[in-house]
Amino acid sequence: MEGIYYTLHDFLLHAESITYLLIVLALIGITAFWWFLAENDDD
């Protein structure tokens, strides 16, 4: 796909996939930050 959406369904599918990727990245980032805080708690 060249960035041209011919139907509303194509656009919504693209937007939903980007949303899911952002959610997964946020969950990974929150988990990594939680581990970082847990490791520094021992000091």
pLDDT digits (tens, 9 = 90+) for 1-37: 467 889 999 999 999 999 999 999 999 999 999 999 8
Domain ranges of the chain: 1-43
Spatial distance between the Cα atoms of 32 and 42, rounded to a whole number of angstroms: 17
41 falls in which pLDDT band (50, 70, 90)?
Answer: low
pLDDT at 3: 76
Predicted confidence at residue 40, as pLDDT, reads 76
Beta carbons within 10 angstroms of residue 13's beta carbon: 12
Tell me the whole-structure pTM to 2 decimals: 0.72
In this prediction, residue 27 carries a pLDDT of 98
Instruction: Report the C-alpha gap between 10 and 17 in whole angstroms.
Output: 11
